[in-house]
A and B are shown apart, each in its own frame.
Chain A
Amino acid sequence: MGEQVPATAVTERGAGPLGASLPPAVRMTGITKRFPGVLANDGVSFEAASGEVHALLGENGAGKTTLSNILTGLYRQDEGEIELWGERVRFHSPRDALDAGICMVHQHFRLVEPFSVAENVVLGDHRGEGRRVLLRTAATEQRVDELSERYGLAVNPKAKIWQLSIGEQQRVEILKALYREARILIMDEPTAVLTPQEADTLFGTLRTMADEGKTVIFISHKLHEVKAVADRVTVLRGGRTVTTVDAAPATLQSLATLMVGREIEVAKPLEQARQLSDVRMLEVDGLTVPGDRGETAVDGVSFSIREGEIVGVAGVAGNGQRELAEAVSGMRDIRSGSIQVAGRRLRGGDPRAAILAGVAHVPEDRLGTGLAPSLSVTSNVVIKTYRTRSLSRGPLLALRRMRETAVGIIGRYDVKTPGPGTPVRNLSGGNLQKLVLGREFADDPLVLVVAQPTRGLDVGAIETVHSYLRDAAAKGVAILLMSEDLDEIRALADRILVIYEGSIVGELPAGSASVEEIGLLMAGGTRE
């Protein structure tokens, strides 16, 4: 491994004490990676120096995560080389990368839920102390405390992971890297689960680490974050490197254009309130909903949505929005309170009743809940409607008519698929979402509950989904939108509700709400 340079000796990024430039901490050249049906990385080249925060910018599907998975040893590249501090390395497994000093904080955390923080931190560590047979829990917990304090990552080492909030879980992931004295830290879309204020704290921590000489690679598709935290930015598009620029002189617009390859408008929130009817389509009154562990996840929530109105619910993941969406769509029992659709009371905990009442649901888990992954497009299209007269004669299925329905939706909503008989797991994220939306709209719903609609989608797909949602609202569908992406809520919603610890702590008309205001409410602060 290259020479260890004491952190204090780094005066300029990438320069040693004598001013001569050191080899970059990471250099990847000509990286190509293929999966069945898709070329994820196509001759990508990428470099990051010690002591810098380097952003990998690209929309969803550009190849950023694949590239970083190769760097961490989870995937093996088909072609190309990796050099660390000037020396060529070959990783055969994640263990090799970890040994080389590379740690990654994934989007979906790699934690073991029933274990404690200390156990997760020490898991798999086989250096020095870690070679002992018996676990030394007290010593580990102490070390975790030390690291927490030094880097501002407060967390209780004895706590079990499932007891922690998502923000705290992310701190555990970072602590894992610090415990292992990682020299290269990769953060994959870390702010999706944080309030704006927490994100700022995170950026501070990353800055500290870079100043100590570590290399931080920050993967994101959010322009303003990249601008806020990075020193340099490498833009990926369509599996290829576009260019590398310094962050300071770049503008949001220039970055956006590089990222997408054409001129797009950086999404702006709705300026004026739309004209809306007075009819209340969805009325939620004093709703209390239990969580998975019997705790109160939604606590006495009341609100209503009018015909054609889009109400966005902003909040950090884990504050009850998932349970609220599930309650309204019938997938979760109600402990007390009521839900009314078009004036009629909805029976709780019964998805079929909700469907019959005109509630459509686009769940955040597209492929596991909204769709049956191994079944065909056709089967998934009729999954709620197969019982109706048009699609079955008594107990017998009208297979041809089912197929025709599917073909219709595929055409109308531009779902790219080899055919209606293809298993849906073969479809890309964007097409899956178009399929689900198409299916839900086909039944002329009165209310649409939609959660994280554009998670993991590329810019083109995001635009399409947003346009479908706006069209539906224009036709009079009342939409309840849950999203962790504040920009999305501000772009789509007529009204914004902020949820915190199961209660609605604020209601803001979209045009006037600022990010800071919303962020404060999301973190539990109160408005002036």
Chain B
Amino acid sequence: MSVNDSLLVIVLAQAVLYGTPLLYAALGELLAERSGVLNLGVEGMMLFGAVVGFWITQRVHGSAPEVLFLAVLAAAIAGAALAAIHAFLVITLRANQIVSGLALTIFAGGLGLSAYVGTELGFSPNTPIEQQFRDLDVLGLGDLPVLGPVVFHQSVLVYASWGFTFLVALYLGRTRWGLNVRAVGEAPASADAMGINVTLYRYVHVLVGGAFAGVAGACYSLSITAGWSSGDALVGGAGWIAIALVIFAFWRAELCLVGAYLFGGLSALPFALQGREVDVTPEFLYALPYVMTIVVLVLVSTGLSKRRIGAPAALGVPYVREER
């Protein structure tokens, strides 16, 4: 048995696989929160993105790259469209960001719009998928020990997620617009006085955040599960874990990647162990990611109060300039 068949390598490879939607969703939520807007509708946007992406693969004909690209694009637009509702409510109408985000999840989630669209289109768990993302063998290195399956044998979605992580980190840390949006999230009054359009920045970042969430959802329907089912099971709470991810990544893109793979690994563990016929109660394993989220969140919260890095100071607060 080669090392690539060992439990460790399999779990690592699957950590990347399962971690990828978490990463996309976390990057999106990170952008929104950096501009000062909390969007709790991630789970709903992911589910909707999943069904819209699936819709494209089932109904649009063409070569695999064309169809899949279109599907991901459609999923991104779907996520952004939902985010626009939230953006309008909390930025322009100054509604409570927490309730609005929850409303979005209820509206778009497994008992809402996603289910509605899916069943209207006639999809079910039995619908076979027409096109899906397959694992690539990059540079023929897919058989290298350990690195092979983990790094060189993943789908385009995974590789694109690395590119996006790099881009988001670069954007926030080294560009003029990144500086501006960080100012908007920390001190909107100061940013406004310096001539930055707070409203515009917030809208853009919330919408882009939604687009990322939509793509994250498509990762499930087009790659991991490669199918669709109504209800919440398709995404299974990943949207909420992504929100927590942003917090314990200290609102930094590169740490989102680390956290996403950590949790991806925890999600993959149950299947891997069952494959080994290790006798552990499945529910206990399924519960691990959720419990770990809580544990890490507590550790981060107690640490945050000591340091000066942390949440954008204006997160969750509507910005009102005195009447113009």
For residue B219, give the distance in angstroms from its CB to the closest CB of chain A.
30
Interface majority SS (helix, strand, loop, mixed), chain A: loop
Cα-based distance from A130 to B324 in the complex (angstroms):
27
Interface positions of B from 193 to 213, Cβ below 8 Å from A:
193-197
Cα-based distance from A110 to B177 in the complex (angstroms):
18
Please give me the residue from chain B that is nearest to A133 by CB atom.
B175
Interface positions of A from 483 to 518, Cβ below 8 Å from B:
none
1/0 per residue, CB under 8 A from B, across A110-142: the answer is 111111000100111110001111110000000
Given A75-B322, A114-B308 in contact, is the A93-B197 Cβ separation under 8 Å? yes
Q: Which residues of B contact A133 (CB under 8 A)?
A: 175-177
Q: Which residues of A contact B197 (CB under 8 A)?
A: 93, 95
Please give me the residue from chain A that is nearest to B321 by CB atom.
A74
Q: Which residues of A contact B321 (CB under 8 A)?
A: 74
A293 adjacent to chain B (CB < 8 Å): yes
Q: Which residues of B contact A125 (CB under 8 A)?
A: 194
The answer on a CB contact under 8 Å between A130 and B187 is: no
Partner of A74, one of B183, B313, B322: B322
The answer on a CB contact under 8 Å between A95 and B174 is: no
The answer on a CB contact under 8 Å between B308 and A293 is: yes
The answer on a CB contact under 8 Å between A95 and B195 is: yes
Please give me the residue from chain B that is nearest to A104 by CB atom.
B193
Q: Which residues of B contact A122 (CB under 8 A)?
A: 179
For residue B36, give the distance in angstroms from its CB to the closest CB of chain A.
12
A303 adjacent to chain B (CB < 8 Å): no
A106 adjacent to chain B (CB < 8 Å): yes
Cα-based distance from A130 to B179 in the complex (angstroms):
12
A94 adjacent to chain B (CB < 8 Å): yes
B323 adjacent to chain A (CB < 8 Å): yes
Given A112-B187, A123-B180 in contact, is the A135-B175 Cβ separation under 8 Å? yes
Partner of B313, one of A110, A113, A134: A113
Given A114-B186, A293-B308 in contact, is the A135-B176 Cβ separation under 8 Å? yes
1/0 per residue, CB under 8 A from A, across B178-193: the answer is 0110110011011111
B59 adjacent to chain A (CB < 8 Å): no
For residue A6, give the distance in angstroms from its CB to the closest CB of chain B.
27
The answer on a CB contact under 8 Å between A135 and B179 is: yes
Cα-based distance from A293 to B305 in the complex (angstroms):
9
Given A93-B195, A94-B195, A110-B189 in contact, is the A134-B175 Cβ separation under 8 Å? yes
B306 adjacent to chain A (CB < 8 Å): yes
Given A123-B183, A294-B306 in contact, is the A94-B194 Cβ separation under 8 Å? yes
1/0 per residue, CB under 8 A from B, across A67-79: the answer is 0010010111000
For residue B191, give the distance in angstroms from its CB to the closest CB of chain A.
7
Cα-based distance from A307 to B298 in the complex (angstroms):
48
How many chain B residues touch the partner (CB < 8 A)? 27
Please give me the residue from chain A that is nearest to B175 by CB atom.
A133
The answer on a CB contact under 8 Å between B194 and A110 is: yes
A98 adjacent to chain B (CB < 8 Å): yes
Please give me the residue from chain B that is nearest to A69 by CB atom.
B322
**What is the interface residue range for chain A against chain B?**
35 or more
Cα-based distance from A35 to B187 in the complex (angstroms):
24
Cα-based distance from A123 to B177 in the complex (angstroms):
9
For residue B181, give the distance in angstroms from its CB to the closest CB of chain A.
11
Q: Which residues of A contact B196 (CB under 8 A)?
A: 95, 123-124
Please give me the residue from chain B that is nearest to A78 by CB atom.
B323
For residue A475, give the distance in angstroms from its CB to the closest CB of chain B.
41
Given A119-B179, A135-B175, A135-B176 in contact, is the A111-B187 Cβ separation under 8 Å? yes
Q: Which residues of A contact B313 (CB under 8 A)?
A: 113-114
Q: Which residues of B contact A111 (CB under 8 A)?
A: 187, 190
The answer on a CB contact under 8 Å between A35 and B323 is: yes
Q: Which residues of B contact A124 (CB under 8 A)?
A: 180, 183, 191, 194-196
Interface positions of B from 297 to 324, Cβ below 8 Å from A:
306, 308-309, 313, 321-324
Cα-based distance from A35 to B182 in the complex (angstroms):
31
The answer on a CB contact under 8 Å between A162 and B308 is: yes
For residue B185, give the distance in angstroms from its CB to the closest CB of chain A.
9
Interface positions of A from 82 to 108, Cβ below 8 Å from B:
92-95, 98-99, 104, 106
Partner of B174, one of A69, A74, A135, A176: A135
Cα-based distance from A92 to B193 in the complex (angstroms):
12
Cα-based distance from A125 to B189 in the complex (angstroms):
16
For residue A492, give the distance in angstroms from its CB to the closest CB of chain B.
33
Max chain A C-beta neighbours (<10 A), residue from B179, B182, B322:
B179
For residue B16, give the distance in angstroms from its CB to the closest CB of chain A.
30
Q: Which residues of A contact B308 (CB under 8 A)?
A: 114, 162, 293
Given A123-B179, A130-B176 in contact, is the A98-B194 Cβ separation under 8 Å? yes
Partner of A75, one of B180, B182, B183, B324: B324
The answer on a CB contact under 8 Å between B174 and A112 is: no
Cα-based distance from A95 to B197 in the complex (angstroms):
9
Please give me the residue from chain A that is nearest to B177 by CB atom.
A133
For residue B312, give the distance in angstroms from its CB to the closest CB of chain A.
9
Please give me the residue from chain A that is nearest to B196 by CB atom.
A124
The answer on a CB contact under 8 Å between B193 and A74 is: yes
Given A35-B323, A74-B321, A123-B183 in contact, is the A110-B193 Cβ separation under 8 Å? yes
For residue B87, give the distance in angstroms from its CB to the closest CB of chain A.
20
Q: Which residues of A contact B183 (CB under 8 A)?
A: 112, 115, 123-124
Cα-based distance from A119 to B192 in the complex (angstroms):
15
Please give me the residue from chain B that is nearest to A294 by CB atom.
B306
The answer on a CB contact under 8 Å between B324 and A76 is: yes
Cα-based distance from A69 to B193 in the complex (angstroms):
10
Max chain A C-beta neighbours (<10 A), residue from B306, B321, B324:
B324
For residue B99, give the distance in angstroms from its CB to the closest CB of chain A.
18
Q: Which residues of A contact B309 (CB under 8 A)?
A: 114
Q: Which residues of B contact A293 (CB under 8 A)?
A: 308
Given A93-B197, A135-B175 in contact, is the A110-B322 Cβ separation under 8 Å? no
Partner of B187, one of A72, A104, A110, A131: A110
For residue B205, give the distance in angstroms from its CB to the closest CB of chain A.
17
Max chain A C-beta neighbours (<10 A), residue from B193, B196, B197, B306:
B193
Max chain A C-beta neighbours (<10 A), residue from B189, B195, B321:
B195
Q: Which residues of B contact A131 (CB under 8 A)?
A: 176
For residue A175, give the distance in angstroms from its CB to the closest CB of chain B.
13
Cα-based distance from A97 to B322 in the complex (angstroms):
17
Cα-based distance from A443 to B171 in the complex (angstroms):
57
Please give me the residue from chain A that is nearest to B185 by CB atom.
A112
For residue A276, give the distance in angstroms from its CB to the closest CB of chain B.
43
For residue A236, give the distance in angstroms from its CB to the closest CB of chain B.
19
Q: Which residues of B contact A69 (CB under 8 A)?
A: 322
Cα-based distance from A375 to B195 in the complex (angstroms):
34
Cα-based distance from A234 to B191 in the complex (angstroms):
30
Cα-based distance from A95 to B195 in the complex (angstroms):
4
Q: Which residues of A contact B176 (CB under 8 A)?
A: 130-135
Interface positions of A from 281 to 297, Cβ below 8 Å from B:
293-294
Please give me the residue from chain A that is nearest to B184 by CB atom.
A112
For residue A281, give the distance in angstroms from its CB to the closest CB of chain B.
35
- Please list the 4 inter-chain residue pairs (A to B) with the smallest Cβ-Cβ separation, ordered nearest first: A124-B194, A95-B195, A110-B190, A110-B193
Would you list 13 pairs from A and B whose C-beta atoms are within 8 A, ordered by A residue?
A35-B323, A74-B193, A74-B322, A93-B195, A93-B197, A99-B195, A110-B193, A115-B183, A115-B186, A123-B191, A124-B196, A135-B174, A135-B175
Given contacts A76-B323, A95-B197, A123-B190, 4 further A-B contacts (CB under 8 A): A104-B193, A110-B187, A110-B189, A111-B187
